[in-house]
Structure 1
Amino acid sequence: MVIKNTPSAVVGLVRGRSLAGQFLASQLVVVAVVLVAVAAVSVAQSEGEFREVRGQRMIAVAENMASAPIVRERSEQDPADPFIARTLAPEVDRAVALSGADLAELLGPDGTVRASSDPSRIGARVDLGVSRADEGRAWFGDADIDGTHSLVGQVPILSTDGEVLAVASVSEGYPSTWALLTRAGEGLLVYLGLGAMLGLVASWLLSRRIKRHTRGLEVAEIASLADHREALLHSIREGVIAVNNDGGITLLNDSARTLLGVPDSAVGQGVDTVGIDPAVVSFLMSGEDDGGDGDTVIATRTRVLALSRRATTSGGRRIGTVTTMRDSTELAALQGQLSSHKSVTDTLRAQTHEFANQLHTISGLVQLGEYDAVRELVGTLTRRRAEISDAVTQHISDPAVAALLIAKTSLAAESGVSLLLDPRSHLNPLDPAMATDVITLLGNLIDNAVDVSVGAADARVTICIDDRDGLAISVLDTGPGVPEHLREAIFARGITSKPEVPGGRGIGLALVRLVTAQHGGTIEVSDGPGGGARFLVRLKAVSHHA
């Protein structure tokens, strides 16, 4: 069995956006998010580096401007001098030119701009609340200057007694995001672009691979296929169970759960851990393909199952097996009844053959005029039949079971096997339904015992039936016996339905265990005291005929 998914198998489905396209789009989003994150980190690092390096630079320029003799001299004079801005203009312009700053100013202790590289700001007030320059300490930090977010460095100009005379202030606006990205490194944009291109190519290749592995099916089609598969599996009457190469259950429909008696949670668990009958577990774990059209019959303690197994492959690789199963319990019961009828037919045939021989003998004696010999032969045959009948009926009061034993005695004798009834046997008349089940049990056990005893040195089958404490049926043969490791398997594995495979009576012993289980009984197999095997069936409750 090869598992395939073909787009043509899905009819009437509305195609949405392709799965590969959706995956490609999602991958592009991921690539874009990664690129944005990398860019954000780079911008943050560049901004931090700019603040640290240029902040120290602004303080250095401000200190240089504050240390100029003309600046200190004019700061110690009258701050209200109207010519102070013109006098100090060359110094603030020089500070801007040397540092590359945007703005250089001299402020009064109250924040009033006394001189500035931007003449329009002279006389304006600057908030020194965030600065510590008015306390006599150099400071750099962020400030908003005319609506521009700027980095400012401020240095106080002190008198000889430590009084703040003025403040030298140098500022530079923060660069744009693009400028920060370019500051992060010459190859950063190249790397980002290359990463984006590689991400796009990888996403496209991956989307193509996904499309190939999904057989070109889209999301809606895959979901519909899964729904259809579930509906199909759970609607068919046959049980279906799939097992992977490791012995794990990968698929289990409702019929299989019922037939195997496993819970809904069995899927995903090991086939040998969910309580499946050991004979079925052994069959499923063997992992071999049946390779034909026949079924393997396995009898559990409550059912007779016909199983057929096929190997499953995907892409030329074996992935496990799929086993279908049918409940053949009723069919097995009918087969048991058919076997019983066949046994009666064989018995009648054997008796017919025996009677024919006896009649030929009598006819010959009559032709020879040996009438005394005829009388003696008829008397002997009558006594022998009476002895067989009396030996059974004095212990077995149920007519159906007694008739079965008498018939089996003649049939076994034809095969060279003596069928003996233990003198300790006792059976009262049974209800018709109970008698039918007992005949099924006894008939199959006797047939099995006769078959294995044929050819033995002292071929005999000994039967003991006792209903004084429940019902016990013991059948002892003189065959080769049953090895200990097969004493469970002989009740489970039936013969295949393939016509070329020989084999015994098929599911006879499986029927014995099934009928025994239906009556709440047990069956045991042990070695006989003189060799051979002993089958002992015990039924807890027996329905007798009123």
Structure 2
Amino acid sequence: MRRILNASLGTQLFVLQLVVVFLSAGGTAGVWAEHTRDRLDLQHQQRALAIAESVAGLPQVREAFTHPRPELALQPIAAGVQAATGADYVVIANRDQIRYAHPNRALIGKRLSTDGSEVLSTGRTWTGIQTGTLGRSVRGKAPILDSSGTVIGLASVGVLEENVAGQLGAALPPLMWTVLAVFLAGSAGAALIAQRVRRQTFGLEPREIAALLEQREGVLHGVKEGVLALDLQGRVTLVNDAARELLGLSAHDVGRGIAEMPLSDRMRDVLTGDDPGDDKVVLHRARVLVLNRMPVAVRGRRSGWVVTLRDRTELVRLARELDQAGSTTDALRAQAHEFANRMHTVVGLLELGEYDTAVGYITQTTEAYGHHSAGIREKVADPTLAALLLAKSAEAAERGVSLVLTDDCRVEEDGLGDPHDAVLVVGNLVANALDALEGAGGTVEVSVRTEKDGLRIRVGDSGPGISPALADEVFREGFTTKAARSGPRGLGLALTRQACLRRGGWVRVHNAGGAVFTALLPRREDVRESVPALRGGADE
């Protein structure tokens, strides 16, 4: 037994199925044999009773009971019936159960060894199994009636059980051959099943399979990246903890189709493969996710897809901060360059002795810069937004673009509520306009004003504009018309739209001498971004 328990899974299955087949076949054979024996007993009982009734109904038998010595007439009759019918014995007795006929003549005149009072007292027939002088036998007893219907004796006919057993034994060989055939077929089937189990488990034992499952679960739920498995019908078959957190799914979503889940159209397109490619950038629940969809093949046949999700929100935030730092550095370098030129001019005037001219030049330059800064602060009282526009103005000048605030700009000092979304929207729209004029120069007009329904923003450029067919596509994450650079592309306008929609606003684009973006950002002081990594910064 210990050897079997320590054997391989295939061997244990083979032995177990052999035992099941053996018990099933043996049990079936036993039930069949018992049922056959019962039927043989019943048949012989009915046959014995029929013979007994025939003997009891013979006129010669009734007449013999009137003779002084009935046994002389009844013994030959009983012997003749026994020989004709093949019964093992035919016994005739009177009401006192004294034998008048018996196969053993020495017992004639003696009392019956088995009780026949039931037949004699009731006048009814009886069948059953009893043990008498000849052994255990199947019997049938019938009353012998005189002409008036009075019971005057009984006739008992029996077949020995050993003869019944002999008939059963004659029927057993076919049964045993059948059982043997079933056992051999079951053994072959057990061997095939054991072999198939070995093949399907790659020869691994249960403990090895359990260890692999534990390792898989540990690795799957321990990795930081999200893992999502799909079958060929697009149903989720596996999702780890990271993917549940990133996509907002639950354990109940396993088995559901992608179309049934609360995901954006962009996310569904990437997951289903309608938007193929590597490192697809998707904006989901204020997170920047990078998705890769790869086919899964088992034994050379495709069985589904596995999608990995990497959270690049923090990386995007750092890239945006770096981009802002770069923009600030460029602006400072431009100012430093301009300041150096002006200082050279002042030094030259002083060397020439043009003191009054130098003083006038310095005064004029200082007043011009102060006038520009004051003009921005006069229209935009909020310091955060004013600082953004001042930096963008310097960046525009460095890139050969004129950034102009329209006359209708009006932003109160505390008119933004939470300024982060405003900085995000304005910064991205201005950056997008500057990129549209890259290398060509031109003008960017900016209008920001606070109204009752929130902050209204309008940014237009003098560039080539946007095709009407792309008016909606430009706000989809991953869409870009710019040359590829390092870092995720096509997120700025998507983040802008998300910020506006989250606050209950909107953003649109149309052409009017160039692309004109308009946006409404309702004021909500209690609204704050759940993931601060997406705040601020320009378009990537």
| Matched residue, 1:123 | 111
Query: What residue number does 2:530 align with?
Result: none
Counterpart residue number, 1:164: 151
Q: 2:507 aligns with which of 522, 525, 535?
A: 525
Q: Which residue of 1 aligns with 2:202?
A: 215
Question: 1:398 aligns to what?
Answer: 382
Structure 1 residues 327 and 466: CA distance shift in structure 2, 3 A = same
**2:287 is matched with which residue?**
303
Residues 162 and 485 of structure 1: CA distance in aligned 2, closer, same or farther (over 3 Å) = farther
- Opposite residue 212 of structure 1, the aligned amino acid is R
Selected match of 2:24 from 31, 34, 51? 34
Tell me the SS of whatever aligns to 2:186.
Answer: helix
The SS at the match of 1:424 is: coil
Shift of residue 70 of structure 1? 5.2
Matched residues in 1 for 2:405 and 2:311: separation? 36
Mapping for residues 83-122 of structure 1, pairs under 5 Å: 84=70, 88-109=74-95, 111=97, 113-118=99-104, 122=110
AA aligned opposite 1:57 = R
Match of 1:247 in 2: 234
Confirm whether residue 540 of structure 1 aligns to residue 540 of structure 2. Answer: no
Q: 1:349 to 1:399 in 2, by over 3 A?
A: same
Equivalent in the alignment of 2:466: 480
CA contact under 8 A between 2:400 and 2:441: conserved in structure 1?
no
The residue aligned with 2:405 is 421
TM-superposed CA distance for 1:200, in Å, is 0.6
Equivalent residue letter for 1:307: L
Match for residue 130 of structure 2 among 137, 140, 144: 144
In 1, the alpha carbon distance for the partners of 2:348 and 2:167 equals 131
Aligned residues: 514
1:283 alignment partner, one of 254, 270, 278: 270
Distance 2:299 2:168 in 1: 50
User: Secondary structure at 1:169's aligned position in 2?
Assistant: strand
Contact 1:140–1:151 (CA under 8 A) maintained in structure 2: no
Cα 1:484–1:288 change in 2 (3 A) is: closer
Residue 265 (structure 1) aligned with residue 252 (structure 2):
yes
> Quick one: distance in 1 between partners of 2:93 and 2:429?
120
1:331 aligns with 2:287: no
Distance 2:293 2:199 in 1: 30
Residues 1:187 and 1:427: Cα distance change in structure 2 (over 3 Å): same
Query: Cα gap change, 1:165/1:443 in structure 2, threshold over 3 Å: closer, same or farther?
Result: same
Q: Distance in 2 between matches of 1:372 and 1:97?
A: 163
Counterpart-to-counterpart distance in 2, 1:232 and 1:141:
77
Name the aligned partner's letter for residue 333 of structure 1.
R
- How big is each residue's C-alpha offset from its partner over 1:230-269, in whole Å with a ceiling of 9 and x where there is no partner? 2332233332222222212222222222222112222222
Matches within 5 A, 1:73-84: 73-77=63-67, 84=70
Structure 2 vs 1, CA of residues 432 and 168 (structure 1 numbering), >3 Å: closer, same or farther?
A: same
Q: Is the 8 A contact 1:287 1:320 kept in 2?
A: no
Q: CA shift at 1:337, angstroms?
A: 1.4
The structure-2 alpha-carbon separation of the partners of 1:502 and 1:231, relative to structure 1 and needing over 3 Å to count, comes to closer
- Report the AA paired with residue 138 of structure 2: L
Query: CA separation of 1:380/1:398 partners in 2, compared to 1, >3 Å: closer, same or farther?
Result: same
| Cα distance in 1 between the residues matched to 2:96 and 2:497 | 110
Question: Using the alignment, how far apart are the partners of 1:493 and 1:471 within structure 2?
Answer: 27
Q: CA deviation at 1:85?
A: 5.0
Letter paired with 2:24: V
CA gap of 1:288–1:127, structure 2 versus 1, over 3 A, is: farther
Match of 1:449 in 2: 433
* More divergent stretch after superposition (209-218 vs 310-319): 310-319
The secondary structure found in structure 1 opposite 2:44 is: helix
Q: Is the 8 A contact 1:482 1:533 kept in 2?
A: no
CA shift digits 1:306-325 (9 cap, x unpaired): 33343222111222222332
Contact 2:401 2:444 in 1 (8 A): yes
Q: Which residue of structure 1 aligns with residue 538 of structure 2? A: none
User: Judging changes above 3 Å, is the alpha-carbon distance between structure 1 residues 515 and 528 closer, same or farther for their aligned structure 2 residues?
Assistant: closer
User: Is the 8 Å Cα contact of residues 297 and 494 (structure 1) preserved in structure 2?
Assistant: no
Q: How far apart are the structure 2 equivalents of 1:77 and 1:21?
A: 80
1:210 is displaced (CA, Å) by 0.4
What is the match of residue 12 of structure 1?
none
Q: Is 1:153 equivalent to 2:136 in the alignment?
A: no
Change (3 A) 1:465 1:368: same
Deviates further, 17-26 or 378-387: 378-387
SS of structure 2 residue aligned to 1:394: helix
Alpha-carbon distance, 1:480 to partner: 0.6
**8 Å CA contact retained: 1:55, 1:140:** no
Q: Give the C-alpha shift of residue 112 in structure 1.
A: 5.1
How far does residue 336 in structure 1 lie from its aligned partner after superposition?
1.7
Q: Structure 1 residues 120, 343: CA separation in 2 closer, same or farther (over 3 Å shift)?
A: farther
**TM-score scaled to structure 1, two decimals?**
0.76
Aligned residue for 1:215, secondary structure, equals coil
Q: Output the CA distance in 1 between the equivalents of 2:417 and 2:140.
A: 111
**Normalising by structure 2, what TM-score?**
0.77
Q: Which of the numbers 254, 257, 261 marks the counterpart of 1:274?
A: 261
Q: Secondary structure at the match of 1:224?
A: helix
Contact 1:332 1:507 in 2 (8 A): no
Partner residue of 1:464 out of 442, 448, 471: 448
2:182 corresponding residue in structure 1: 195
Would you say the 8 A contact 2:46–2:127 is kept in 1? Answer: no
Mapped to 2, the partners of 1:541 and 1:339 lie a distance apart of 28
Q: Deviations over 1:488-529 (max 9, x none)?
A: x8454488xxx9778984433354466668xx5245232437
What letter corresponds to residue 263 of structure 1 in structure 2? S
1:471–1:541 CA contact under 8 A, matched in 2: no
Task: Report how far residue 120 of structure 1 moved.
Answer: 5.4
**Post-superposition shift, 1:390?**
4.5
SS in structure 1 at match of 2:260:
coil
Secondary structure class of the residue paired with 1:237: coil
Contact 1:112 1:126 in 2 (8 A): no
1:485 to partner: Cα distance: 8.6
CA pair 18-44 structure 1, distance change in 2 beyond 3 A: same
CA contact (8 A) 1:234 1:254 kept: yes
Measured in 2, the distance between the counterparts of 1:306 and 1:368 equals 63
**Structure 1 residues 207-243: Cα deviation after superposition (integer angstroms, max 9, x where no partner):** 0110111011122222232223223322333322222
Amino acid across the alignment from 1:143: I
Shift of 1:30: 3.1
Relative to structure 2, which stretch is displaced further, 395-404 or 462-471? 462-471
* CA-based RMSD: 4.6
Paired with 2:486 and 2:315, the residues of 1 have a C-alpha distance of: 20
Match of 1:23 in 2: 13
Aligned equivalents of 2:220, 2:159: Cα separation in 1:
75
* Contact 1:134–1:156, Cα closer than 8 Å, also in 2: no
Contact map agreement 2:417 2:525 (CA 8 A) in 1: no
Distance 1:305 1:470, change over 3 A: same
Query: Quick check: 2:9–2:205 contact (8 Å CA) kept in 1?
Result: yes
